[in-house]
Structure 1
Amino acid sequence: MRHDLNELEAFVAVARHRSFRKAAEERNVSASSLSHTLRALEARLGIRLLNRTTRSVEPTEAGKHLYARLGRVIEDLDQALDEINGFRDTIQGSLRLNVPRPAARLLLAPMLGGFLKVHPNVTIEVTTDDGLVDIVAQGYDAGVRFGESLAQDMVAVPIGAPLRFAVVASPAWLAVHGRPATPLDLRGVPCIGRRFPSGVIYSWEFERDGEGVAVGVDGPLVLDDDEMMVDAARDGVGIAFVHEFYAREHIEQGALVRLLEEWCPAMPGFHLYYPSRKHMSAALRSFVDWCIKYRRDEAAAAQDVKSPVSTGLL
């Protein structure tokens, strides 16, 4: 018995989302039209595939069995069709990326212009979000996060150099309050707090010689933006704990003083990640390759700069 591929794809979408509304949005049809399609499929098969209530949609045992077999088949079919893009001269399509603000500025901003010049028929939408987002549920093609924050079922590609945090304060602030010698000295002195999107206030984390310590700090100001933290530290509000990138120029200019540097080791950088069981479009595959190459070229350039000094050629 042959069946309409559209009906089978519609069933897979509803079974995956457990929702006619979400499946309809994905397929750009109305929920009522999708419901009619599924009833026609069930009528032809002579068996119920979905149990429907006013609040939920759940596959029956037969539906679960069919979804388990069809899900991968439909996925493989979509991937085969997408791979045809590899035979075209032009990569096209759209990408939705979810990226924390530091990664957007440190990594993606320098990469995007060059990529879009090479692939002018690709559209990229970047959402900056410091929270931990389910990129699949939210409809993103990929995201960027620290490696330690990634779910195990994701494919992760390192695209950023190791990162460090910096503890900084203004010279004027230090003249009044003194310089902390250890992380524990931060207790009881004015600090600029960091609030995560979840609402949790971050306890500053430090490590030296394998010894780790987390310090809960207090102060007159709590922020969720590194640039604002740097500005507040320069204004003498308190000590800030920020991504090194945001403070480097101010440290070099003497507007900020770095503290507890030996307690802030480098840590693994950002990773580009995407669902391990979801096929990659040609646009996403090209973007992943571009990020890897950009990171490799950047590392090679940095090594070339260091080599003359380290080998005594200068």
Structure 2
Amino acid sequence: MMRPSLNDLAAFAAVANHKSFRRAADIMGVSRSALSHAIIGLEAKLDVRLFNRTTRSVSLTQAGARLLARLDPVLQELDRALDTFSEERGTPSGTLRINANKSGARILLADVVPRFLDLYPDVELDLVSEGRLVDIVEQGFDAGVRLLEAVPKDMVAVKFGGDVRFITVAAPSYLDGKARPNMPDDLHAHRCIRQRLPSGKRYRWEFSRRGAEVAINVQGNLTLDDNDLLVQAAVDGRGIAYVPEYFARPFLASGQLLTVLDEWCPPIPGLALYYPRSRHLPSTLRAFIDLLREVEKQR
């Protein structure tokens, strides 16, 4: 039996852990065909089939599962060894992958990322901004950014950016001549700009006041999936929108938008960067967290 290379074994582990040639190829920075050929070559060297492949799915064979169980700890220990070497050099290096929502990405780009890249020029930061919640471990991310209340319980969370508010806003031109809503139920008499979540569902607007919580399935003839677009549609007089205050703030200051139902929109715990509790913390992520905490102390 020919001894496989470390690259071959790392390719196998990537496909096995992510259950996808496409995801593994993206994370490793290679083409899907190159990764597929590497796995075929590995199976030939070991003289055993490691994966069951169909057009829709990839799963491990029994032999593949046994190999992964023995190989994963070895590769993790290798990562620790290389990370220790990086720390001894005094400057973290390598790739740091963070999955964030759009609000989180904006705050990090404004306050943390520029300083981080200046301090650690050998680190390549891959900041993916998307609305859908993902399994950061399965998708190959070092960390994620979400609202604190949405962080999985088995993760370590580092809060940043302060509390957030979701507010209802509308243009003066829309509100002119109409009765302003005083209670969430009053929204049923208004045209609202609805939001579609990445899951495909429409978002129910959530309000609270003095312990009373209300979720409203608003009505309207326009549905959007992006906060910037929701704000712009509200500015254009298309109806009432429900958005994070951060996105509406410039238009509130200019008078292009007004708030309604203010007392039903209290602040909630804001964003958090989170990462797996059970995994080794790479030096790149440790340096990013240290800087994030430093920036938070200066707020």
1:292 and 1:162 map into 2 onto residues whose CA distance is: 15
Q: Residues 19 and 140 from structure 1, CA distance in 2 versus in 1: closer, same or farther, beyond 3 angstroms?
A: closer
Equivalent in the alignment of 2:130: 129
2:205 and 2:147 map into 1 onto residues whose CA distance is: 17
What TM-score do the two structures reach when normalised by structure 1? 0.79
Deviations 1:95-151 (A, max 9, x none): 232221122223433221111111122222222211112333433332211123233
Q: Residues 189 and 79 from structure 1, CA distance in 2 versus in 1: closer, same or farther, beyond 3 angstroms?
A: same
Structure 2 segments unaligned to the other structure (5+ residues): none
Q: Which amino acid aligns with 2:42?
A: T
2:233 and 2:51 map into 1 onto residues whose CA distance is: 57
1:236 and 2:241 are equivalent in the alignment: no
1:196 and 1:31 map into 2 onto residues whose CA distance is: 34
Other structure's SS at 1:132 match: coil
1:37 and 2:42 are equivalent in the alignment: yes
Equivalent in the alignment of 2:60: 58
Deviations 1:267-309 (A, max 9, x none): 11111123344433322221122112212221xxxxxxxxxxx
1:227 and 1:15 map into 2 onto residues whose CA distance is: 38
1:227 and 2:232 are equivalent in the alignment: no
Q: Residues 19 and 260 from structure 1, CA distance in 2 versus in 1: closer, same or farther, beyond 3 angstroms?
A: closer
CA RMSD across the alignment: 3.0
Other structure's SS at 2:253 match: helix
Q: Number of matched residues? A: 290
2:154 and 2:272 map into 1 onto residues whose CA distance is: 14
1:232 and 1:132 map into 2 onto residues whose CA distance is: 25
1:1-314 equivalences under 5 Å are: 6=6, 12-13=13-14, 15-17=16-18, 26=28, 30-41=35-46, 50=50, 52=52, 56-60=58-62, 64=65, 67-298=68-299
Which stretch shows the higher mean deviation, 285-294 or 221-230? 221-230
Q: How far off its partner does 1:92 sit?
A: 2.0
1:76 and 1:92 map into 2 onto residues whose CA distance is: 17
Q: How far off its partner does 1:160 sit?
A: 2.5
Q: Which amino acid aligns with 2:274?
A: Y
Q: How far off its partner does 1:207 sit?
A: 0.9
Larger gyration radius, structure 1 or structure 2: 1
Preserved CA contact (<8 Å) 2:170 2:235: yes
Deviations 1:244-276 (A, max 9, x none): 112233333333222111111111111112334
